[in-house]
């Protein structure tokens, strides 16, 4: 067993990081791990943190490994923001913590899983710590690509690039770690386009599989402006349903836990002022988290939609490439027959533009409607 077991399909990354953990001359004070969503950036960062703390450099079974991976080790801080950004005050607190010597481990390790969400002022605050590193402190930053991190920060980090893992590797992980039957594991890995977290959810949640089926069935239904508006509303409602199912129980549990911590009566109709202030702060945090999660769900839905146009283009070109939606082959063939290669590419561009607009804070429904109008299946006379 090893902490690297769940870093699937990343042999070069594992070699680089494990070598650094065992050879002091290969270490540096700041690392930047980049890779597409689902490639395992955060998993690799946590494994690296564990290997740095472990006496055996990542055995995966000792207390140091377990607590480092879980984020409960005294000298490992893992920042996994659930809001839209990482604020400057949070970064300043991390910089102060980075100035302390390790208390029980060999290193003080600070992992920022979403370095691309640093605000400009937060990035400036972090830059000071990277320019004047503290001995025995290691920063591990994660981001989708180099371009998502400002130049001054990425120039002070050693860059390690992760790739999209192969379907077989993700399926093997799901079977080994989660006990998922091999056929279902392979379907989930392929449908999730090798996004490990999404593949696990698809394999274990029938509702998620049903929602995905609804999404990939949309392209052939959009034959007019009315259909386009309806498809956009359907996409938005599917995302809202998934986001609501994920957050409602969690929000209620957090509220109950806060009231218990404050010694307040959960059944009271009116809470004392200090309790109301804490509840208001929690609700604000939950709202920010819900906004981000909702956008992430919409983005994942658009990636699923994009896969149908990609598969149709593959079929139309006669390429011998595995389809993402092999179980929907009839629909893929119908879409390939209904649209020219140029039209399929235009649809893919429209989906990509919608993703960019939502990322730039355009209201999701508005962006989806504009996209869906561009996805209309042409009539036979207009092809």
User: pLDDT digits over 134-173, tens only?
Assistant: 889 999 999 999 998 989 999 999 999 999 899 999 999 9
Reply yes or no on whether the pLDDT at 55 is more than 70. Answer: yes
Reply yes or no on whether the pLDDT at 382 is more than 60. Answer: no
Q: With bands split at pLDDT 50, 70 and 90, how would you rate the model's confidence at 294? A: confident
* Orientation of helix 11-22 relative to helix 41-53, angle to 10°: 20
Provide the 8-state DSSP code for 25. G
HSE toward the beta carbon, residue 274, CA cutoff 13 A: 4
* C-alpha dihedral (227, 301, 82, 87), degrees to nearest 10: -70
Measured CA to CA, the distance from residue 58 to residue 74 in angstroms comes to 17
Q: Which helix (H) or strand (E) holds 191?
A: helix 182-191
Determine how many CB atoms are found less than 10 A away from the CB of residue 383. 11
Who has greater pLDDT, 379 or 43? 43
Determine the pLDDT at residue 260: 82
**Residue 150 DSSP SS3:** coil
Determine the pLDDT at residue 245: 61
Reply yes or no on whether the pLDDT at 329 is more than 60. Answer: yes
The tokens of 272 are what? 């004392």
* C-alpha dihedral (349, 351, 356, 360), degrees to nearest 10: 140
The tokens of 165 are what? 């893992």
Reply yes or no on whether the pLDDT at 208 is more than 90. Answer: no
Determine the pLDDT at residue 83: 66
The tokens of 18 are what? 């494990």
Reply yes or no on whether the pLDDT at 259 is more than 60. Answer: yes
Determine the pLDDT at residue 182: 94
Give the right CATH number for 11-161 from 3.40.50.10470, 3.40.50.300, 3.40.718.10, 3.40.50.720: 3.40.50.300
Cα R_g (the chain), whole angstroms: 23
User: What pTM was estimated for this model as a whole?
Assistant: 0.77
């Amino acid at each position: 067993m090893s902490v690297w077991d769940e870093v699937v399909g990343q042999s070069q990354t594992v070699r680089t990081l494990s070598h650094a953990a065992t050879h002091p001359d290969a270490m540096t004070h700041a690392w930047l791990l980049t890779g597409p969503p689902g490639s395992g950036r955060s998993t690799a960062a946590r494994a690296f943190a564990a290997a740095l703390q472990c006496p055996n450099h990542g055995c995966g079974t000792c207390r140091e490994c377990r607590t480092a991976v879980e984020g409960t080790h005294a000298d490992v801080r893992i920042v996994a923001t659930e809001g839209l950004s990482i604020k400057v005050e949070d970064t300043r607190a991390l910089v102060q913590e980075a100035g302390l010597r390790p208390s029980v481990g060999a290193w003080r390790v600070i992992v920022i899983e979403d370095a691309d969400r640093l605000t400009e002022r937060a990035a400036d605050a972090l830059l000071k710590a990277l320019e004047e590193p503290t001995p025995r402190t290691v920063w591990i930053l994660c981001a989708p690509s180099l371009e998502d991190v400002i130049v001054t920060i990425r120039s002070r980090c050693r860059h390690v690039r992760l790739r999209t893992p192969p379907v077989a590797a993700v399926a093997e992980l799901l079977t080994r770690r989660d006990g998922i039957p091999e056929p279902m594991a392979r379907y989930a890995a392929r449908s999730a386009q090798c996004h490990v977290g999404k593949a696990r959810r698809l394999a274990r949640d029938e509702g998620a599989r049903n929602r995905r089926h609804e999404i990939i069935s949309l392209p052939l239904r959009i034959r007019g402006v009315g259909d386009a508006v309806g498809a956009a509303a359907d996409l938005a409602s599917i995302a809202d349903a998934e986001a609501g199912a994920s957050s409602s129980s969690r929000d209620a549990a957090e509220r109950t836990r806060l009231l218990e911590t404050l010694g307040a009566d959960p059944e009271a109709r009116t809470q004392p002022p200090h309790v109301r202030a804490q509840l208001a702060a929690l609700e604000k945090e939950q709202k920010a988290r819900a906004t981000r999660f909702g956008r992430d769900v919409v983005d994942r839905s658009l990636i699923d939609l994009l896969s149908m146009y990609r598969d149709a283009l593959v079929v139309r070109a006669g390429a011998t490439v595995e389809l993402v939606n092999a179980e929907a082959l009839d629909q893929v063939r119908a879409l390939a027959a209904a649209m020219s290669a140029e039209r399929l590419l235009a649809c893919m561009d429209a989906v990509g533009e919608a993703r960019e607009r939502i990322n730039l804070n355009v209201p999701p429904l508005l962006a989806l409607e504009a996209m869906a109008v561009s996805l209309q299946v042409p009539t036979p006379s207009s092809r």
